[in-house]
């Protein structure tokens, strides 16, 4: 593949879309349009997962194709409104993990029934000019943050309901060789799956392919659990981002980098949701070497992916996860390298054909 083969504008549009767990509608609509003409069938299940299917080429006598499920999640970390007070300020329920140091003075959008409302997220507390030294050091909890809509209590309560989605504002952009945006986790892998299907169009597949675009991963791998139960795969491949701590980090040594941008797609060995099936790790690593595709083995001490949910489905499924190295995960400037995404597409195509 060449540099122009990856439609980075599509990746950036995906990152810009709003879609917290349970409200992935805009992302799902985008994915469904992108899938048009690429698969034998596409359906949406009861939980909201998109399941796209492509049949394998006719197998030789005595051979049976695998049922391969790949899964990338559509949801991003964000919030739900949980309270509107008498002065019009909103309190929120977090969906997914946040480092609150990255939430100060953020522009947000409240997705109300009547339309999107701009807001400002800030923790309660004194401005730096009048705060004590100890107060300035304090790291607030999510429960201490509020959203200011610039509206009085009556108007805010008229427009906003408990349960309305709140997303952080940040337009995706290219920064040198990086693609940066608020939701590369996991829209970069949604994009990687879509690009894989686009490259595979017209090619014969070795295995039956179920490409799942899952929901509610950030709150417990929920979409992948139900999708895997329904698909009944014989091979599972999670697609997600992973840490790239390959930058100045106080106290972090080279052994804690997990992955490095530009060194290729990550082949996960371990995270806190799964120990990847060893023979499958070996198969993908050997295939990458054979095809000259850049890849790196990855151990992530904490965190989980759809691969963990697939692996534990029914009586168990041989599974691994392919990971896109990403800087600044769970911030509004999540950053990936296009070459690593391309390596992921190439490795998936090589395996499936």
Residues taking part in catalysis: 217
* CA end-to-end distance (rounded Å), the chain: 16
Q: Are 271 and 302 in contact (CB under 8 A)?
A: yes
Element (H, E) at 27: helix 25-34
Q: Are 35 and 176 in contact (CB under 8 A)?
A: no
Q: Are 199 and 146 in contact (CB under 8 A)?
A: no
- CA distance to 84, 86, 160, 285, per residue, from 153 (Å): 8, 5, 10, 58
DSSP helix/strand/coil, 108: strand
Q: Are 294 and 288 in contact (CB under 8 A)?
A: yes
Q: Are 45 and 201 in contact (CB under 8 A)?
A: no
DSSP, residue by residue, 184-214: HHHHHHHHHHHHHHHHHTTSPPSSEEEEEEE
Partners of 115 in the β-ladder? 112
Q: Say how far apart CA 295 and CA 224 lie, in whole Å.
A: 25
Radius of gyration of the chain measured on its C-alpha atoms: 21
Which class for 320: exposed (0-12), middle (13-18), buried (19 or more C-beta within 10 A)?
buried
> What angle is formed at CA 16 by the lines to CA 12 and CA 18, rounded to 5 degrees?
145
Query: Half-sphere exposure (CA, 13 Å, Cβ side) for 276?
Result: 30
């Amino acid at each position: 593949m060449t540099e122009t083969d990856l439609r980075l504008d599509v990746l950036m549009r995906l990152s810009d879309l709003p879609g917290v767990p349970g409200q992935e509608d805009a992302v799902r609509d985008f994915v469904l349009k992108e899938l048009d003409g690429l698969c034998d069938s596409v359906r949406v299940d009861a939980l909201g997962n998109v399941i796209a299917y492509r049949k394998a080429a006719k197998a030789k006598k005595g051979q049976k194709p695998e049922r391969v499920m790949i899964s990338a999640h559509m949801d991003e970390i964000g919030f739900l409104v949980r309270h509107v007070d008498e002065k019009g300020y909103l309190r929120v329920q977090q969906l997914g993990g946040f480092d609150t140091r990255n939430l100060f003075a953020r522009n947000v959008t409240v997705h109300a029934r009547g339309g999107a409302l701009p807001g400002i997220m800030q923790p309660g507390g004194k401005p730096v000019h009048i705060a004590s030294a100890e107060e300035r050091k304090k790291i607030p909890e999510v429960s201490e943050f509020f959203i200011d809509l610039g509206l009085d209590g009556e108007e805010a309560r008229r427009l906003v309901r408990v349960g309305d989605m709140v997303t952080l504002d940040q337009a995706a952009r290219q920064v040198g060789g990086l693609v940066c945006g608020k939701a590369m986790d996991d829209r970069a892998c949604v994009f990687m799956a879509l690009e894989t299907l686009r490259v595979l169009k017209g090619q014969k597949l070795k295995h039956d392919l179920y490409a799942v675009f899952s929901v509610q991963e950030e709150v417990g791998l929920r979409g992948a659990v139900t999708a895997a139960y329904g698909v009944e795969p014989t091979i599972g491949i999670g697609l997600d981002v992973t840490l790239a701590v390959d930058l100045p980090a106080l106290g972090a040594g080279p052994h804690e980098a997990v992955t490095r941008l530009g060194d290729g797609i990550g082949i996960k060995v371990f995270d806190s949701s799964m120990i990847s099936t060893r023979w499958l790790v070996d198969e993908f690593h050997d295939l990458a070497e054979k095809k000259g595709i850049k890849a790196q083995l990855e151990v992530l001490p904490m965190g989980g992916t759809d691969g963990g949910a697939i692996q534990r489905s029914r009586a168990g499924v041989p599974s691994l996860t392919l990971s896109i190295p990403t800087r600044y995960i769970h911030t509004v400037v999540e950053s990936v390298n296009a070459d690593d995404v391309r390596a992921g597409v190439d490795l998936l195509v090589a395996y499936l054909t």
